[in-house]
Amino acid sequence: MYDLIKNVESGDMSKPPRVSLAEMSRVTGKMLNHGDSQHLTAGAAPTLDDLTQSLHFSPGDGRIWLNGQRMQLLHTTSLGALRRELLESIGAERTRGLLTRVGYSAGARDAQLLRERWPNAEPGSLFAAGPRMHSLEGAVKVEPLHFEFDFERGTYHGEFLWHHSSEAEVHQADFGIGTEPACWMQTGYAIGYTSAMIGRLTIYREVECTCMGHHRCRLIGKPADEWDNVEEDLRFLNAEAFVSTTAYGVPQQAAELPGDDQRPYADKEMVGVSSAFNAACHMLRRVAPTAATVLFTGESGVGKELFAYMLHQISPRKEQPFVAVNCAAIPETLIESELFGVERGAYTGASHSRPGRFERASGGTLFLDEIGTLSLVAQGKLLRALQEGEIERVGGVRSVKVDVRLVAATNVDLREEIRQGRFREDLFFRLNVFPIHLPPLRDRRDDIPLLMGYFMRHYGQKHQRRVTGFTARAVDALLNYHFPGNIRELQNLVERGVIYADEGGPIDLPHLFTSGEESQTSYFSLAQTGRLTGHGGATPTAPAQQETPAPGALLDVLPAMLRQQAQGKGWSLDQLESTLILAAVQRADGNLSAAARMLGLTRPQLSYRMKKLQQP
């Protein structure tokens, strides 16, 4: 679009808009799955100019935008003061981990934004955009020495130089020359960006640092399982020791969930590095040593039962039983006998006495899943058991003392259930001692590459199939999919991909979305006819997506501009821009988001330009 505007202003329409190799590959249905820094298409987007144009300042309302996301300037001296206070208060080990995870989150978020902003960009140019973005943000000047990637094999190797590292400068100012590298946040950024791009955890090590007396910092990156002693690197990505590193392709016995092989949790592990996941883990660690009742909330499929089991495993009760009950799976007529047990002869068919779940869990943890489905009668009996600390079997004549830590979970809003008269308020307050909300997968997208790799290896071993990784468009699809089924849906998609993929080959987009899932518009390209073209057998299924205006929808406005210019009516660049903006807004019936898509802009960028038009 910008090439066309410039040509209109100059009157030179002899040069058609440049089409990159990546855009051509989208139209033909072929993806560039490998490449290196020595064979990048010259001028392929996003260039440094493209990134610079994505940075906007709005001093009047106190906001800065980069690729549609709000940013904030921070003095390096303030960053240094924060770093110094962290080191003095919590120590170097925890400070390094905290800053590494902050950097990881920033890098993964930038990778996501660049994919969304330039969905048709070549993979190689997106890899090169990471150092440019990091330089633009003022952290460091990045000089790529060499990098190469292969999506089919899931490999990546890169080596970079860092000049003028702000993190090294502030560290050196406070602590002088030392023996260890100090660019922790910047290393985390590189790990997060590359891992999100390739869909596989890639670890970087800073092998030279100005804080160690070197002239510049030097960084080397490759997949986690190709490093020796990578556990040292991975522990800084995990906020808690009970989070597994086996998900990163590095087996570590201590991180695996202990338990009987017959348990459904024996082969499942806690996986994640996102801030939302780490926040939940911190709360889990805080409440684990106590006997407080815990209520897990969150959508279906976010892993509430796994969190409950891990809570038991890191608590003083870990040697005692962990008993899980799915309240929704037990008929109302049987819930009392299942929870509290039954005495022989209590009813027809009760030929022997049987302890209930409370007795079986005595000394340990009782987990009640989907507790919101219990009937009001069952809720009353449960409330009495919690208040008195004792139960009475069905048909029994004596009370039995039980020492149980209760953990409950629900995927519904219990406060709303109370307002609707479907849940007892007194039971809610008994359960809501220490609530922990587990975020949906769409709020912890930084964890998707780790979960992809974990499930790929897990199901490859389970089904005895060898797949090498994910293609570029498969990674793009999963990183942008909204996951209504959360982790459970991602797990199913990857298992399906492992089964569908050719032996020894990568998992591709057609192997994943085969059951009516609604893919995002970024998985389709715009053909020369203006119609959306799917790749790899995929088709745009959502009607709203088919009607979404795409960049290039205003090309028919340009001939009129040329005719007026030929008649002697000169057009300035501002006039061309304002005409295109107004045409887009009018064509989108005032919908700024749709108009921004027509122009190839983000909504904040369009709003910024419209404010300029309104100024006298």
CATH number for the domain spanning 50: value is 3.30.1380
**206 in the same domain as 124:** yes
Give me the count of residues in the chain: 616
d(CA 614, CA 128): 37
Say which CATH number the domain at 476 has: 1.10.8.60
Let me know if residue 503 belongs to a domain: yes
- The pLDDT assigned to 50 comes to 78
Domain boundary pick from 178, 211, 237: 237
Domain boundary pick from 517, 546, 575: 546
**594 in the same domain as 496:** no
Let me know if residue 451 belongs to a domain: yes
Residue 395 φ/ψ region, left for φ over 0, alpha for ψ in the -120 to 50 degree band, beta for the rest: left
Let me know if residue 425 belongs to a domain: yes
Tell me the residue range of the domain where 500 lies: 444-546
Model pLDDT for residues 496-524, shown as the tens digit of each residue: 999 999 888 888 888 988 877 765 534 44
Let me know if residue 597 belongs to a domain: yes
For the chain, how many structural domains are there in total? 4
Q: Any idea which residue has 């924060």 for tokens? A: 82
Model pLDDT for residues 108-124, shown as the tens digit of each residue: 888 888 877 777 777 77
Let me know if residue 84 belongs to a domain: yes
Let me know if residue 268 belongs to a domain: no
Say which CATH number the domain at 429 has: 3.40.50.300
Lowest-pLDDT range of 18-27, 216-225, 259-268? 18-27
d(CA 369, CA 327): 6
With CA atoms as reference, report the closest residue to 368 among 299, 293, 440.
Answer: 293
d(CA 395, CA 352): 12
Please state whether beta strands 217-223 and 202-208 pair in parallel, antiparallel, or not at all (unpaired): antiparallel
Let me know if residue 327 belongs to a domain: yes
**164 in the same domain as 65:** yes
Domain boundary pick from 487, 513, 546: 546
- Segment of 5-19, 409-423, 554-568 carrying the highest mean pLDDT: 409-423
**429 in the same domain as 290:** yes
**290 in the same domain as 187:** no
**40 in the same domain as 183:** yes
- The pLDDT assigned to 378 comes to 86
Backbone Cα Rg of the chain? 29
**569 in the same domain as 500:** no
**101 in the same domain as 167:** yes
Torsion angle in degrees (nearest 10) through CA of 485, 487, 488, 489: 50
Confidence category of residue 586, pLDDT binned at 50, 70, 90: confident
- The pLDDT assigned to 310 comes to 92
Let me know if residue 262 belongs to a domain: no
**423 in the same domain as 458:** no
Confidence category of residue 540, pLDDT binned at 50, 70, 90: very low
Q: What percent of the chain has pLDDT over 90?
A: 25
